[in-house]
Chain A
Amino acid sequence: MDRDANLEVDGRPEWELALLGDEGALVRLVRRLTPVVQARVARKLVLSRDRSGGSRDVRQEVDDLTQEIFLILFANDGKVLRGWDPGRGLSLVNFVGLVAERQAVSILRSGKRSPWRDDPTLSDELERIASPVETETAAASREVLGRLFDRLTEELSPLGRRLFDLLLVEETPVAEAILATGLSADAVYAWRSRLRRLARNLLAELSEPPREARTPARERTR
């Protein structure tokens, strides 16, 4: 965990002071978080870039997206930033990095910010979605999996993404995931179920005929 991002001034975390309007804390926080936001944005841009010609200056895009993501972090009285819970095992820098990655994917794909979802809402939404679809097969192509992963990244909160990484990518045993996140065993299992339902439903969405509105955005990034 990075120590600097959790600095306290007079007993209050610096990020909280920044949200309360402390100018110095805001300046320091932006200076501390800019590298991680920039790096996550730069990765997405460089790795997904179509160099066939006519592209914008990548540095300009990094600059614009970095600024946009900071505005998302601080919008609505810092709602997204206030969603960081140090007890969940993510440092502030890593939390912000996940937010940056999610928003970068969303903005690059659709040109829109990804709406912020609190985790309980995510669960409620998924409960209303239809049952597993028949398109889920082991034969899902790598191209489809790539699109599915991007959509999952857009949909998940930083905690959800953290659990996806822990449980599915790193294949961490549940006991370790509990320790890493501070969640209960029930909560970890519930998250796995949410992830499963979300993946199925996003796969179903991707299997539908492309919508007119999405075509240009996808072409822009691929």
Chain B
Amino acid sequence: MTRPIEPGAGASAGTPLPGEDDSLLRELGAWARDRAAVEREQLDDRWDRLAAGTLTSEEEAKLRAEAEGSAEGAEALAAFQPLGPEAESRIVAQIRAQRAAERPAQPAIAAPRPVVAAPSPSNRPNNVLPFRRRAAVWGGGLGLAAAAVLIAVLGLPRGSAPLPTYEVRLSGGDKNDRGSTGTEATAVPTFSPGARFELVLRPAEAVKGDVAVRCLLVANGGGPPRPFPACDHAEHSNDGSLLVTGTVGSQIEGPPGDWTLWAIVARPGDLPKDPPVANVAEPIAGKGWIGIPHRIRFAAAA
């Protein structure tokens, strides 16, 4: 039987029906209302917007000025500062690992434990990805880089030999083609015929065992991935680093246009046949492989 809405429809649902005592619920509701008000006094919605990265610079400066005077405020700043792309990449990798572990056909993969991020100094900008600096295997040519951008993702745990974070460095190219307002992170490395091309993929920690690499180009305007065979001849170092180098136009095929260059790194045999790189601009990971995108432009011959 349907309970009539009237007269209840006009009343607060906290009003008990005959024979029912809602005093505890009403007390609890009032308590929750009071607590919400107190919490909003302590942490107003600017804090949520700080986490979302939607505060204006003026609002953020004001919030920081208010908060930095107390231990509680400083703690709140640390807690609400956006976790950033490093944490997001780690979360994605963990979700993928969990999903893989849930598949009955792959019982060898253990359920993941939360990855604990390395403690970071509170003054480190959150959007800067922390890398362990190591002696470069191929460091010499990098100092001459006209364009170098760093991107990292977490490798996906795979059995007992997970791939670590990889650093990607793309260098060489046209020195005079960088926008005056561009930053290293946003400028698109441009390569004209005859330019030197150097792509280094370097693990944050030495990788035991072999790795494989495959590269793809995806046009910025869309379309299917196309092979970038230069990576098929990558040099491998003992620590898992990979180097692709050559001259554009002769050793490196660079079709004119704006592209996303995807480097797919995996254990031998785990390279995906069709990695889902279309319409994606973020690092991705699958079972036993990682994919790192990098914007690149190949210029037509003058």
Contact = CB atoms under 8 A, between A and B. Distances in A.
B10 interface: yes
B144 to A, nearest CB: 33
B78 A59 contact: yes
Nearest to B276: A23
B92 A26 contact: yes
A71 B99 contact: no
B136 interface: no
B98 A75 contact: yes
A148 to B, nearest CB: 6
A108 interface: no
Interface residues of B, number: 76
B88 A27 contact: yes
A52 B123 CA distance: 24
A173 B95 contact: no
B90 interface: yes
Interface residues of A, number: 72
Interface in A9-40: 21-24, 26-28, 30-31, 34-36, 38-39
B83 A63 contact: yes
Contacts of A67: 87, 90-91, 94, 114-115
Contacts of B48: 35-36, 39
Contacts of A30: 88, 91-92, 95
A215 interface: no
Interface stretch (B36-44, B180-188, B196-204): B36-44
Contacts, number: 212
Given A23-B284, A39-B80, A188 B13 contact: yes
Nearest to B99: A74
B43 A35 contact: no
A70 B42 contact: no
A189 B282 CA distance: 46
B32 interface: yes
B72 A46 contact: yes
Contact of B95 (A26, A169, A178, A186): A26
B119 A57 contact: yes
A39 B92 CA distance: 19
A122 interface: no
Interface string A123-165: 0000000001000101010100110110010000000000011
B78 A58 contact: yes
A90 interface: no
Interface string A84-111: 0000000000000000000000000000
Contacts of B13: 166-168, 171-174, 177, 188, 192
6 contacts: A23-B286, A26-B92, A34-B91, A66-B91, A140-B24, A145-B31
Given A30-B88, A165-B32, A185-B2, 15 more contacts: A38-B51, A39-B47, A59-B120, A63-B116, A67-B114, A71-B98, A76-B102, A136-B24, A140-B27, A145-B27, A169-B32, A171-B29, A175-B10, A185-B4, A203-B24
Which 5 residue pairs are nearest across A and B when measured between Cβ atoms? A168-B29, A24-B280, A167-B13, A175-B9, A42-B79
Interface of A: 21-24, 26-28, 30-31, 34-36, 38-39, 42-43, 45-47, 49, 51, 57-60, 62-64, 66-68, 70-71, 74-77, 132, 136, 138, 140, 142, 145-146, 148-149, 152, 164-169, 171-175, 177-178, 184-186, 188-189, 192-193, 195-196, 199-200, 203
